[in-house]
Amino acid sequence: MLDEARPGNQANLRPLSPRRARCRPIITLPNPSQTFEAHLAGLGLSGIGTVHRNQSVPLLYEHALGRSEGKLGAGGQLVVETGKHTGRSPNDKFFVREPGSETHIDWSNNKPVDGAVFDALLERVGTYLTGKDVYALDCYVGADPAYRLPVRVITEFAWHSLFARDLFIVPPASSANAAQAEFSPEFTVINVPLFEADSARDGTASPTFILVNLAKRIILIGGTRYAGETKKSVFTVMNYLMPLRNVLSMHCSANVGRDGDTAIFFGLSGTGKTTLSSDPHRPLIGDDEHGWSADGVFNFEGGCYAKMIKLRQDAEPEIWAASHRFGTVIENVVMDPNTRELDVDDASLTENTRSAYPIDFLPNFVRSGMGGHPTNIVMLTSDAFGVLPPIAKLSPEQARYHFLSGYTAKVAGTERGVAGVQPTFSTCFGAPFMVHHPTVYAKLLGERIAKHGVSCWLVNTGWTGGVYGVGKRMKIAYTRAMVNAAIEGRLAGARYETEPFFGLAIPSAVPDVPSDVLNPRNAWPDKAAYDAQAKHLAGLFAENFKRFESHASKEILAVAIRP
């Protein structure tokens, strides 16, 4: 089991079993004893300048500030701007088509690139880095030693290395030179944000590129300063590897109650995964990405990547505190040039402002990064139409339906080219990161829900009383009260009414929540307008699900939404 080096108020609720204690590598390396220098040479990076390997947080700060990569915030944060790329570039992400993975990849959702294109671009990156200093971090992805993936992150920016240090799992020995030679990476990330591809010459879609080569175990990133590309590319690799080992990889957060009951929260960016799982009464297992194996849930990461826009200290004190201290990386938040105080309400750079910090910056977390099988699954959506109920209980079949549908709304800045709020269906609540066909993940989810008798809920953290721009965002206090009542079992004996458009079971009462909030139709002044919007959204659900009808079971088809 990996231990973080920093102290905190941790909860270690599940000791490792003898089977878990055995670290079974995911990929067999041809030469596990390969030296660091030989590894670089094999990547075509033998001509680089000084390699700053496994640097401490203070040293990375010194380098980043000395190289004018960022500025020091009033709370001790490292504040950076990522330029024109303030979110992911999904149109620039490609998989190298090769025999070992070709039959597993869902090519309707993922774009192929020829191996020769990758090799030529890697060679050009090696030439570009000749004589340049780089930063290398040896870390792990996957808290469970039975499934963890050793990853080496090589970056052009010091702050990108700090970001990776905050987000991934760093073994204590990685800061000591004595243990460095023993690390054998099974995947390598090479991130060169200042190198831009020549589309005509390099065969890329734009100057930006995110290329995943599963055969050579390399992720090549360039032309973007947005550090989230590193995080999400590694998550994508785990989404490929884990189902091949009968592990459900999930875009979700997870926490655990006093009695050891685990809850997981599915949802896309901006739906509230980080906010709702950061609960002072429930230790956090992880913020964003997890696996669900035969033994339970485990975090892929060692940190959190929280949205900062309109963050309030009174509403989210744990995230606020973690975002205002030394070691945290703040992306694209406007800062006063004199006081160095953050203005979290200023979206002039982007709506997708971010805070990256280690999980032990929170006061209450699970040190092992592992929990038992979930008792509750919460599927989060941010409904821009304002018609879905703030909470509804799902049958197992409905849970699989909504998992495949993955409805929410994209918010400006989360991805390039998105303006305003755009309703979207992102299967598995993370379509851009899913490598296999969505039904592979849905089948694993259904099997686990059935085996462990999991209660499932749909929670709308979006709008109520009208569409976006007319209605109001659901109060976070109400959402917390509803979620807590659900996962604590206080809705087990509640009366439910089934609303007519989506077939969802709405509780008639929830402690500390006004009854007129629970049924969304009651919150609209114009009931006819609500009915029209609800029918419209139901039609969008039905149209989207047509692509899964040939794969879906009769039980799922029976609960499918019809306009």
Active site residues: 88, 232, 251, 269, 273-274, 288, 354
State both tokens at 149. Answer: 């993936």
Dump the DSSP string for 146-178.
TT-EEEEEEESSHHHHHHHHHHSB--GGGGSGG
Interatomic CA distance for residues 64 and 60, integer angstroms: 6
Strands (E), 164-302: 187-192, 209-213, 218-222, 248-256, 262-266, 284-286, 289-293, 296-299
Q: Give CA–CA dist 528/107, Å, rounded.
A: 42
**In this structure, which amino acid lies at residue 504?**
L
Which amino acid, 396? Answer: P
**Token code pair at residue 17:** 């079993």
Q: How far apart are CA 15 and CA 25, in angstroms?
A: 21
Under DSSP, the state recorded for 346 is: -
Q: Identify whether the C-beta of residue 178 lies closer than 8 Å to the C-beta of residue 143.
A: no
User: From the CA atom positions of the chain, what is the Rg in Å?
Assistant: 23
- At which residue do the structure tokens 């060692």 appear? 302
Backbone angles phi, psi at 60, to 5 degrees: -65, -35
| 8 Å CB contact between 167 and 129 | no
Query: How far is 87 from 351, CA to CA, in rounded Å?
Result: 10
Strand partners for 146: none
Residue 230 — φ and ψ, nearest 5°? Answer: -65, -50
Calpha distance 428→352 (Å, rounded): 21
The maximal CA–CA distance of the chain, rounded, in angstroms, is 70
User: CB of 516 within 8 A of CB of 478?
Assistant: no
Q: How many angstroms from the chain centroid is the CA of residue 27? A: 23
Give the alpha-carbon dihedral of 244, 247, 248, 252, to 10 degrees. Answer: -130
CA–CA distance, 556 with 554 (Å, rounded to integer): 5
Per-residue exposure over 486-520, b if at least 16 CB sit within 10 Å of its own CB, e if not: bbbeebeebeeeebebbbbbbbeebeebeeebbbb
Two tokens, residue 370 = 């592992």
